[in-house]
Amino acid sequence: MTLYIMRHGQTELNRLNIVQGSSMDSALNQMGYAQANAFYEAHRHVEFDLIVTSKLRRTHQTVQRFLDQKIPWEQTADINEICWGIHEGKPHSPVQNEQFLQMISAWKSGDLDASIEAGESARQLIARITRFVQWVKTRPERCILVATHGRTMRALITCLKGLPPPLMEDMEHSNTGLYLAHLQPDGSWKFELENDTKHLNVELGFTYQ
């Protein structure tokens, strides 16, 4: 099995530096659609057997041109973005950033139950990601495109690599950045690409940061 795992394209809330999370069902902006189209043009030759997205429309819109080909499609809340609790829908601020850094520090220290007020913890996120990975391994398809979100992608890649949850901070992600992984006979995953954004450089004519 081969997994193409991508983050959704840019939304207006991304551009405005407003916290999204699982309750913000935001749409792609003009740049996001351009990124999605660039990804499609770069990978339209891949014979995907299945597309899996979160329940949030920014992932649906990112892979819409693949969906238009009538490729089978599954949606699951298991790969929705993490819930950022009381921060969702609000602009980033120094106070908010301090609370976030405190939570990340707690995760790195082993406290996986730490969370933003009314939000999800790392333990809760990892539980649904683990369930998703177990589900993927039961699928008969050989080549699957997965469209998800930034924090969820960090957790998913960490899980696939068999690394402890606190190391998810080391997993980079960009809008429409691609991780390409192959399932090995021993059940592990071998990564061919990590946060690959070459399609943006070619199609949009600039290096996307």
Query: What structural domains does the chain harbor?
Result: 2-204 (3.40.50.1240)
Residue 209, pLDDT score: 37
Q: What is the rounded distance in angstroms from the CA atom of residue 39 to the CA atom of residue 49?
A: 17
Using alpha carbons, list the distances in angstroms from residue 127 to 34, 61, 111, 121, 204. 33, 26, 15, 10, 37
Residue 208, pLDDT score: 39
- Cβ pair 177, 12 in contact under 8 A: no
Q: How confident is the model at residue 201 (pLDDT cuts 50, 70, 90)?
A: confident
Q: What is the pLDDT of residues 120-166, one digit of tens each?
A: 999 999 999 999 999 999 999 999 999 999 999 999 999 999 999 99
The mean per-residue pLDDT over the stretch 8-29 comes to 95
> DSSP 3-state assignment of 113?
coil
Residue 100, pLDDT score: 93
Q: What is the rounded distance in angstroms from the CA atom of residue 61 to the CA atom of residue 112?
A: 32
The mean per-residue pLDDT over the stretch 80-89 comes to 96
Query: Starting from the edge strand earliest in sequence, which strands make up the sheet with 73-75, in order?
Result: 73-75, 50-53, 143-148, 2-7, 178-183, 189-196
- Cβ pair 200, 165 in contact under 8 A: no
Q: Which residues pair with 51 in a beta bridge?
A: 73, 145
Residue 194, pLDDT score: 98
Residue 83, pLDDT score: 97
pLDDT at 7 exceeding the cut of 50: yes
Question: What is the percent of the chain with per-residue pLDDT over 90, rounded to a whole number?
Answer: 94
Report the chain's mean pLDDT, rounded to a whole number: 95
pLDDT at 71 exceeding the cut of 90: yes
Q: Pinpoint the alpha helices (H) of the chain.
A: 12-15, 30-43, 57-62, 64-67, 94-108, 122-138, 150-160, 198-204
pLDDT at 206 exceeding the cut of 80: no
